Amino acid sequence: MLDAIRSLFAATDQTRAAERPGVDPVHLAACALLLEIAFADGEFTEPERKHIEDVLARHFGLSRDDSHRVLAIADEERQRSVDHFRFTSVLQRNYDLGQKMVLAEVMWGLVLADGEIAEHEHYLTRKISNLLELQPAYLASAKARAAERLGKSDG
């Protein structure tokens, strides 16, 4: 029964993706999860926005206009979504372990971008990493690398 429900959501996701020509579902899924983390503490700060825009340019090679389009569409999809599975399942199918680890580092960079680690941001990053089947040691390593990159302590 659970598989039937998941396939129904997958069909809905594929229909929505077909309505969004030119937007890669992987980019959309990653961006939606990043936005979910950014909004987890109740505010979306300028450093968080810049971090996501930099990620879209650096990791996906998107232009500024394409980044803004993906951000807008991902935010709409994030607000409509009832859970994180629809996004993590896309990444689970398309990302290898290395790509998932890079995403975990990007997520921690986002959490650290505004200088504070809100409890819900921390929880959500761990939850998404768990849905991506990343081991706790990988997550700790990603957090340390993100903190080092930003010149912050890993606490």
List pLDDT tens digits, range 12-44.
Answer: 454 444 345 678 999 999 999 999 999 998 889
CA distance 114 to 38: 10
Half-sphere exposure of 40 (CA within 13 A, CB side): 27
| CATH class of the domain at 2-150 | mainly alpha
Q: Measured between alpha carbons, how far is 37 from 66 in angstroms, rounded to an integer?
A: 21
* ∠ Cα 112 152 107 (to 5°): 30
Residue 42 DSSP code: S
d(CA 56, CA 52): 6
Transcribe 72-137 into DSSP letters: HHHHHHHHH-SSSHHHHHHHHHH--HHHHHHHHHHHHHHHHHTS---HHHHHHHHHHHHHTT--HH
Joined together, the tokens standing for residue 38 give 């950014």
Per-position pLDDT tens, the chain of length 155: 546 555 545 544 544 443 456 789 999 999 999 999 999 988 898 999 999 999 999 999 999 999 999 999 999 999 999 999 999 999 999 999 999 999 999 999 999 887 778 889 889 999 999 999 998 888 888 888 888 887 765 54
* H or E element at residue 28: helix 25-39
Domain ranges within the chain, ordered by starting residue: 2-150
C-alpha–C-alpha distance, residues 8 and 10, integer Å: 5
Tokens (6 digits) for 10: 């997958």
